[in-house]
Amino acid sequence: MTEILRIENLQKRFGGLVATDNVSLDVHTGEIHALIGPNGAGKSTLINQLCGELRQDAGVIHLAGRDISHMPAPERVDLGLGRTFQVTSLLEDFTVAENVGLAVQARDGGNFRIFDRVTGRTSVWEETGHLLSGSLLNDRRDARVADLSHGEKKQLELVMALATQPRLLLLDEPMAGLGHLESQQMIDTLNGLRGEMSMLLVEHDMEAVFALADRISVLVYGQVIMTGTADEVRNDPRVREAYLGTEDA
């Protein structure tokens, strides 16, 4: 299996708007595949269809050779599809450790148990500690998520996705709103995960994209206008016109 993800002719309409217009795309096993495109191009809409939060109107999604087009979101997670949210979406009343712990527990199972003690699940908390000690949130374990900075929340998004042990990680703008140093740290973290899992990376930060991506696909008005290496994308006139020309890259 060389493709962890294969998307065929995916379509999604919102009323008259075609948000996903006949998208075909694949992510090779082990690769970091970036998806770029202007605001409103339909990147998040695509991610949401891949993870099962939105249902496509037409088209097929294969994860590791399996048709997951009509599978509910939680089952896709079990098959190894992890995601982060563009607008952070966390358990705000819980601490950092409780957030990660619940993500580990969710994967580990026993979620219907009513006679155990959640604090007594040593393997869950050991793994939580392990995940956190390898992250920038190590000193923030007991902080309530509502009290975290934006950058810390973005970090937590990633750690929680990793806790589900994904084979394919869908990252929706992990650097959005981060300062330069924080972005660099995020790039390093993602680079460190290279090879452990495949990634589909949606990102506006071109520095990050060029630093990380093995291949890049460009989405404009719901259509993939090209897929190629960083150099190919940089030098493509259509991309310059549609995307790079309109923004400072």
Ligand X SMILES: Nc1ncnc2c1ncn2[C@@H]1O[C@H](COP(=O)(O)OP(=O)(O)OP(=O)(O)O)[C@@H](O)[C@H]1O
Q: Residue 198 binds which entry of ligand X, another protein, Mg ion, none, with Cβ cut-offs from 5 to 8 Å by kind? A: none
Give the span between the Cα atoms of 237 and 249, in whole angstroms. Answer: 14
Answer for which of 102, 148, 219, 242 binds another protein (CB under 8 A) is 102
What element of type H or E holds 126? helix 122-133
Binding of residue 142 to another protein (CB under 8 A): no
Q: At what angle do helices 150-163 and 180-193 cross, to 10 degrees?
A: 10
- Window 159 to 188, contacts with another protein (CB under 8 A): 160, 163-164
Binding of residue 185 to Mg ion (CB under 5 A): no
Answer for which of 32, 103, 131, 212 binds another protein (CB under 8 A) is 103
CB of 25 to ligand X, least distance (A): 14
Stretch of residues binding another protein (CB under 8 A), selected from 20-28, 85-93, 207-215, 223-231: 85-93
Strand partners, 27: 5
DSSP state string for 10-73: EEEEETTEEEEEEEEEEEETT-EEEEE--TTSSHHHHHHHHHTSS--SEEEEEETTEE-TT--H
Q: Residue 134 binds which entry of ligand X, another protein, Mg ion, none, with Cβ cut-offs from 5 to 8 Å by kind? A: none
Give the span between the Cα atoms of 174 and 204, in whole angstroms. Answer: 10
**Site mask for ligand X (CB under 6 A), range 31-50, x = bound:** ------x-xxxxxxx-----
Binding of residue 107 to another protein (CB under 8 A): yes
Helix (H, G, I), strand (E, B) or coil at 149: coil
Give the span between the Cα atoms of 201 and 209, in whole angstroms. Answer: 8
Helix (H, G, I), strand (E, B) or coil at 3: strand
Nearest to 102 by CA among 118, 113, 78, 86: 118
CB of 2 to another protein, least distance (A): 26
Stretch of residues binding another protein (CB under 8 A), selected from 9-17, 83-91, 179-187, 203-211: 83-91
Binding of residue 123 to another protein (CB under 8 A): no
Answer for which of 9, 55, 70, 118 binds another protein (CB under 8 A) is 118
Q: Residue 94 binds which entry of ligand X, another protein, Mg ion, none, with Cβ cut-offs from 5 to 8 Å by kind? A: another protein
Specify the amino acid at residue 92.
Answer: E
- How do the residues of the chain divide into helix, strand and coil, expressed in percent and rounded to 5? 40, 25, 35
Interacting residues toward ligand X by CB under 6 A: 14, 17, 19, 37, 39-45, 86
Using CB under 8 A as the criterion, which residues of the chain lie in contact with another protein when the complex forms?
51, 53, 72-75, 77-78, 83, 85, 89-94, 98, 101-103, 105-107, 110-119, 121, 160, 163-164
Which stretches of the chain bind Mg ion, using CB under 5 A? 43-44, 86
